[in-house]
Amino acid sequence: MSLKFYRRVAFGLSLNEKPDKDPLNWALNQLDTIPNLLWPGIIPTEKELRKKYGEWVYGDREVLRKKFKNDKHAYRKAKDELRIKTGERYFELNEHAIRHYQTKYSKQPVFERFWLFWGNHFAISEKDFLAEFSTGPYQREIIRPNMVKTFEEMVQSVTTSWCMIHHLDNSESFGPNSKKGIEWRETINENHARELLELHTVSPNAGYTQDDVIQLAYIMTGWAHKWDRKNLETGDIWFDQEMHQKGDKIVLGVKYKNDAKRELTKVIHDLATHPICIKFVSTKLCRHFITDEPTEDMINPVIEAWNKSNGSLIEIHKAVITQAYKHNESTHKFHPPEIWLMQLSRMFDLNIPLSSEKMNYSFSSKPNRRQRQLSWILREIGHSPYRAKQPNGWSDFEADWVSPELLLRRFWFSSVELPILVKSGNRSHDFILACLKNNFEDHENMASLIENFRFGTLDYDLGQKYGVICNLPGVLKA
Amino acid sequence: MNCTRRNFLIGGSTTLFLSGYFPKISFASMQKKNLIIISLRGGMDGLTAVPVIGDKRLKKLRKKLILEDVLNLNSDFGLHPKLEIFHKLWQTNQAAFVHATNIPYTGRSHFDGQNLMETGAHIPYKEKTGWLGRGLLASNIIGKGLAISLPMPLLLRGVPQNNNFFPSPDFVETNLIDQIYNEFNGEHNELIKSTLDTIRQRPLSMQIATDSDDRKKLALEAAKQLKDQSGPRVAVFDLDGFDTHAAQGGVDGAHADELEEVNKIVTILHENLGQAFDNTLILTLTEFGRTIKQNGGYGTEHGYGSAILMAGGLLKKSQIYTDWPGLKKKELFEGRDLNSTIDSRAIYNSAMSVCFNQDPEFLRKEVFWGDELPDLSQELFKI
């Protein structure tokens, strides 16, 4: 059994872990429960962070802009102070630490890989201050708890989450015949409805029309944040009947009777259990774990498990893992930069993330260089996880990740930055050899490529060794 | 108000039919010609960039998005004040615009739309290569594409050995690549291997660390490479943020900020290409325009027809090339969007034919599957 399965569906093996006698069961057994978040530092709730978000936008928009409207420089200074006070520069760093600590130490790394997958399927792209305050807690509180429920339940939670509603502008969508729509002469914003169809559920394969998008947008009107003068757009999500489009709606040929907030539950049920949705999402799962172009014989068993279990994510995940195991030898899956980094961190016990004590923040000065380090690395290797450029998230295709600069960034990281992250007790050549042996069948060949540097323990020597090892085809891919 | 359909259509196509294609062999055509594409992701609003001032309907439908201080182009069209460089170049016949144009895509999805604007195809995600990459390959121009972004844009895929420039913070020793190069065996490693080839052939100035957040520096290096007679012939810039569903604003709004970025890049290219600017075409590319009417958040929704901003010495003259569809309700696409009366791929095909010294008819077949795309080179470009 090839060791690459441990990188295919997880993050490779740390030196404390040994290959299991039954790798398939090892993986399948990790999917029934939600592992606790292990980060020993602070893990703020979504609500707490939304409050901070509110303080930041209120302070900037309602106070500073008015106070300093004639003094650009004073405004900039006051704004920087507000950034520090509200943690605008800090919370995303802490979220990255929580995430990478989890993928490094979790006893259920396979579960964690699915966590990353779903967070990206229901991606929150770079918009307003979501990455700074909200995307991290959304991943923890909306995506994670739903991973042992059904796909439909996941879609329900995501669609009515503050983060997604803000991301896709649903609070700005008014039924034109609703009370507020008439009073304020407002109309719909289609964005959220379109992405719910296109990205989250049925995909364009379902052949929906512009009319379907509009009708779904009508159904979704009213799902919005509560707005008030102090919290602005950061109030809780509720259903505002006065924004809701009256009358029956028809989406993909199905009629939804005028039924206020219950319309959304019904339409999500139909979308999330639609055969085209099931095929679309099953294909994406296979693409993520098996190969860029999954075949029917990989996808069909996942669809079968989906149908049999009425969309239970536990069963779906198990089917995907079973297929990944079955096709492990015959396929090669290229890993995007963040997963590559997580694997290096786990296999070679790198010093990331920073310890929770050192991540503590005083809200009185800018986060220091060490606190910014992990997030900076992620950005420089081209994969800052909460800053996808578009709502379709990060690509799962190799071609999107292979460009001269993106490959050079990996060489840069592994030869220049990585040596700084090697723990003082791990600088010997033997340590590297042990890690290689634990994770790669062809570890002897790999070792021969760094033989020239075997006696070197300076940062430069480590850089040469890791620069070679980390960019070998068998490390870039599993 | 005389902005009715077909008023602006310039140049008949009958002459073209008869003329055939006879590339001129002159000193000018020996010079390297550069084609620069700036992708404007999110849906660039052609009516904000090049507003139709001759039609009062626009103001009526966009009360909160009114543009003041519009730069004058002609009696019917103005230019957004942030697009200063285009206005300056307009005076010397080095800026022009195509209006009411788009790729033949009406689905209003960013992801499908961006996929199609890059592949040039009709079905999203079906093609895995970009029209520019295929155009280069068909013209046998290999290893001359340069992307100014970290990932390789789909637009340039389809031809091997493209380069990109978006440097890391520190110098990278390329000897590391030599040490592992031979490990990349088998078909599944070919893409990485050919990318490593490209890295090994990079000029020294592209190996130097810089600050990739600084668009100015990137555009400067691009200009430097493009100016080099043996350097790249194609460059692709990538801008996003045009999806202004809210707070789109007028002169200083969210859309204006993005147009300002376009202006910056073109300004730097113009200043630093020097003489090479005369042999250059700069064209924008977007997935769709935006609705005529403002929405609830003083933004606009995904629409259809947009505009192409063009600059460079290879333009025939300053002009607004359009088959104007009008803004009356019945003239709009699905009653809401500016219609597209020109398949924008015709412009890109013609631009490639000029810059790659290639028969447009041949490119149309090789790149766009023989789709009906009229040759507009004589109307728009110097040939």
User: Which residues lie closer than 8 Å to A164 by C-beta, 6 or more apart?
Assistant: A122, A124, A138, A142, A158, A192
Q: Which of A244, A272, A300 is the last residue before a domain boundary?
A: A272
Q: Could you tell me if residue A371 is inside a domain?
A: yes
| C-alpha distance from A252 to closest chain B C-alpha (Å) | 16
Q: Which of A221, A252, A272 is the last residue before a domain boundary?
A: A272
Determine whether the interchain pair A468/B150 forms a contact, defined as Cβ–Cβ distance below 8 Å.
no
CB-based contact, B24 to chain A, within 8 Å: no
- The vertex-B303 CA angle with B299 and B308, nearest 5°, equals 100
* Helix (DSSP H) and strand (DSSP E) numbers for chain A: 26, 4
User: Which residues lie closer than 8 Å to A77 by C-beta, 6 or more apart?
Assistant: none
Average pLDDT, chain A: 96
Query: pLDDT value at position B298?
Result: 75
Structure tokens at B280: 């250059």
Query: pLDDT value at position B2?
Result: 42
Q: Could you tell me if residue B5 is inside a domain?
A: no
Determine whether the interchain pair A412/B172 forms a contact, defined as Cβ–Cβ distance below 8 Å.
yes
pLDDT tens across A210-238, in order? Answer: 899 999 999 999 999 999 999 999 999 99
User: Residue A222's closest CA among A177, A265, A174?
Assistant: A174
Q: Could you tell me if residue B227 is inside a domain?
A: no
Local mean pLDDT, 10-residue blocks, chain B (383 residues): 44 39 52 96 94 89 80 94 97 98 92 92 84 97 91 88 82 87 95 92 75 83 92 93 76 84 97 97 97 80 95 98 95 95 98 97 97 97 92
Query: pLDDT value at position B9?
Result: 45
Query: pLDDT value at position B163?
Result: 85
pLDDT tens across A400-428, in order? Answer: 899 888 999 999 999 999 999 999 999 99
Chain B interface test: which of A69, A380, A405 (most B C-beta within 10 Å): A405
Number of domains in chain B: 1
Phi–psi pair at B163, nearest 5 degrees: -110, 160
- The partner residue sitting opposite B179, judged by closest CB among A187, A391, A449, is A449
Going from the C-alpha of A28 to that of each of A2, A109, A475, B47, the distances in angstroms are 17, 11, 23, 55
Distance CA B165, CA B153 (A): 12
Is 90 exceeded by the pLDDT of residue A440? yes
Query: pLDDT value at position A366?
Result: 96
Query: pLDDT value at position B169?
Result: 76
User: What is the value of ipTM here, to two decimals?
Assistant: 0.94
Q: Could you tell me if residue A156 is inside a domain?
A: no
Distance CA B140, CA B23 (A): 17
Query: pLDDT value at position A61?
Result: 82
Distance CA B352, CA B281 (A): 10
Q: If you average pLDDT over residues A261-287, what whole number do you get?
A: 98
Domain extent, residue A196, equals: 162-272
CB-based contact, B301 to chain A, within 8 Å: yes
Determine whether the interchain pair A404/B199 forms a contact, defined as Cβ–Cβ distance below 8 Å.
yes
Structure tokens at A399: 């071609």
Residues 167-226 of A with CB under 8 A from B: 169, 172-174, 184, 186-191, 194, 198-199, 204, 210, 213
A334 bridge partner residues: A477
Query: pLDDT value at position A351?
Result: 97
Q: Could you tell me if residue A289 is inside a domain?
A: no
Query: pLDDT value at position B352?
Result: 98
Three-class secondary structure of residue A255 per DSSP: strand
Q: What is the CATH number of the domain that holds B349?
A: 3.40.720
Are residue A373 and residue A262 in the same domain, yes or no?
no
CB B160 within 8 A of CB B152: no
Contacts of A391 in chain B (CB under 8 A): 110-111
- The partner residue sitting opposite A198, judged by closest CB among B111, B128, B191, is B111
Query: pLDDT value at position B240?
Result: 86
Residue of A nearest to B198 (CA): A404
Number of domains in chain A: 2
Residues 239-278 of A with CB under 8 A from B: none
Q: If you average pLDDT over residues A165-172, what whole number do you get?
A: 94
Query: pLDDT value at position B297?
Result: 66
Determine whether the interchain pair A407/B195 forms a contact, defined as Cβ–Cβ distance below 8 Å.
yes
- The partner residue sitting opposite A449, judged by closest CB among B180, B192, B246, is B180
Q: Taking the complete model, does pTM exceed 0.90, yes or no? A: no
- Other beta carbons within 10 Å of B98: 26
Are residue A250 and residue A380 in the same domain, yes or no?
no
Q: Which of A256, A272, A288 is the last residue before a domain boundary?
A: A272
Q: Could you tell me if residue A254 is inside a domain?
A: yes
Query: pLDDT value at position B61?
Result: 85
CB B86 within 8 A of CB B95: yes
CB-based contact, B195 to chain A, within 8 Å: yes
Query: pLDDT value at position B209?
Result: 66
Cβ burial of B188 (10 Å; 0-12, 13-18, 19+) is middle
Q: Could you tell me if residue B179 is inside a domain?
A: no
Q: Could you tell me if residue A248 is inside a domain?
A: yes
CB-based contact, B233 to chain A, within 8 Å: no
Q: Could you tell me if residue A234 is inside a domain?
A: yes
Q: Could you tell me if residue A420 is inside a domain?
A: yes
Is 90 exceeded by the pLDDT of residue A196? yes
Q: Is the peptide bond before A353 cis (omega within 30 degrees of 0)?
A: yes
B145-148 vs A223-225, strand pairing mode: unpaired
User: Residue B287's closest CA among B154, B140, B150?
Assistant: B154
Chain A interface test: which of B60, B109, B190, B193 (most A C-beta within 10 Å): B109
pLDDT tens across A51-65, in order? Answer: 999 999 999 888 987
Q: Could you tell me if residue A225 is inside a domain?
A: yes
Determine whether the interchain pair A199/B198 forms a contact, defined as Cβ–Cβ distance below 8 Å.
no
Determine whether the interchain pair B164/A204 forms a contact, defined as Cβ–Cβ distance below 8 Å.
no
Are residue A260 and residue A389 in the same domain, yes or no?
no
Domain extent, residue B99, equals: 14-164+232-380
